Amino acid sequence: MNNFKKIKNSLNEKEAVIAVMGLGYVGLPLAISFAEAGFQVIGFDPSEPKVTLVATTDSESLAKADAIIICVPTPLTKSYEPDISYIVSAVDMIRANMTPNTVVVLESTTYPGTSKELLYAPIEKDGWKLDEDFYVCYSPERVDPGNKTYQTENTPKVLGGMTPISMQVGTALYEQVINHVVPVASTEVAEMSKLLENTFRSINIAFINEMSLLCEKLDIDVWETIEASSTKPFGFMRFNPGPGIGGHCIPLDPIYLSWKAKEVNFFSRFIELAQETNHQMPEHVVHKAMKTLNSKQKALSGSRVLLLGMAYKENIDDLRESPSISVYENLVKAGASVDFCDPLATKYRDYDGTIQETIPLDYSSFASYDLVIMLTCHDLFDKEQILANSALILDTKNVMSSFGSSKVTRFGGGPVIDVEKSLMAQ
């Protein structure tokens, strides 16, 4: 039996050892899925705190693995270029502990060509032969923190192989834990698909944010406009405005794509404009806060401001690239005295390295603030209590619209009107 058939059989019989490098929000659920499917799983992470949960910091354990899945971070440098150092480090560890007939899969978000340049080329240079001694695939992670509907198993998995044989081995690997594997022609297509997905979202979020700014100028309710447009059963996809974009994917992935495009002398104006628009939204929150306080004859400088929700999205504790942090920093620079309340994302390190911590969720304390800004509206927040105990509210997510209170200023322009009552009054 040749090596190709051996590795496929070991995967199908659940005899293969699976190693997952990086036990973050992507790697840990994946490692658990393989373990629950009956595989022996090695979880590797250089961070000691994570390893106390499961697995090892010993890179030599990788020598026991038949399949190694790389789920390491891919941040940006200070100059907004891809930081591939975590991938390089992971591949170096694999090379140092390489054994014959190993499947190597990259899941980290990166630019097209990474699998060929950083996985295949270095391993091949060591003397190993592709599709005889090792197999290379790319399968972009598709994790949506806090999503209760789509988990690891029922989220379709795009998979590209360096060759058709590598693709078959990679498919056999992921079919053990994923309901629907979506094969594509190459690792480059798979890498590009991830960037396309999130650049699409970035551009459309930027568009709706710009429409929100325009509606404010025209005194038109952007939220009612979106609701009206959403009744069209074809040709329209809903996106909502807000205080900015956050998380690991949407703020970063378009920059990876733009960076790669410049290598071939292609400049994407859509990406650049979307980044510019989305990044200005935290500043718009501050401008809106200033106008809201001015309407009550108060200045932003010297006012006490409370931010509700620091995580980048509702019902999770993830602060990566959260626009709420930019709002906090800009308000402080404007002279406001700022606190935040987030029972899920309870602390973060600010730009100066200082640890900022949440205040307790005590609605009665809200009355001591001149302005409460709703940024990330977790389900655990009681909106009626917020309204009852706040002197003034700036609502960036339109979650208070049903109350129709004069205390509430919203993003997007236009007064809060109950259409049915208005018609009855006529």
Pairwise CA distance, residues 315 & 240, whole Å: 17
Pairwise CA distance, residues 76 & 223, whole Å: 34
Pairwise CA distance, residues 139 & 315, whole Å: 27
Tokens of 268: 């994407």
Q: Show the CA angle centred on residue 313, arms to residues 215 and 178, nearest 5°.
A: 120
Structure-derived torsion over alpha carbons of residues 210, 215, 216, 217, reported in degrees to the nearest 10: 90
**373 contacts 292 by C-beta, under 8 angstroms:** no
Q: Is 249 a catalytic residue?
A: yes
**152 contacts 86 by C-beta, under 8 angstroms:** no
**170 contacts 137 by C-beta, under 8 angstroms:** yes
Residue 275: how many other CB atoms lie within 10 Å: 20
Residue for token digits 């930081």?
A: 83
Give the DSSP H or E segment for 175.
Answer: none
Give the DSSP H or E segment for 43.
Answer: strand 40-44
| CB proximity list for 246: less than 8 A, separation 6 or greater | 311, 312, 313, 320, 321, 322, 323, 324
Cα 128 off chain centre by: 36
Beta strands in 232-370 (DSSP E): 304-308, 337-341, 347-349, 355-357
Of 71, 137, 215, 249, catalytic: 249
**275 contacts 255 by C-beta, under 8 angstroms:** yes
Q: Which of 119, 113, 120, 75 is nearest to 264 (CA)?
A: 113
Q: Please give the positions annotated as active site.
A: 249
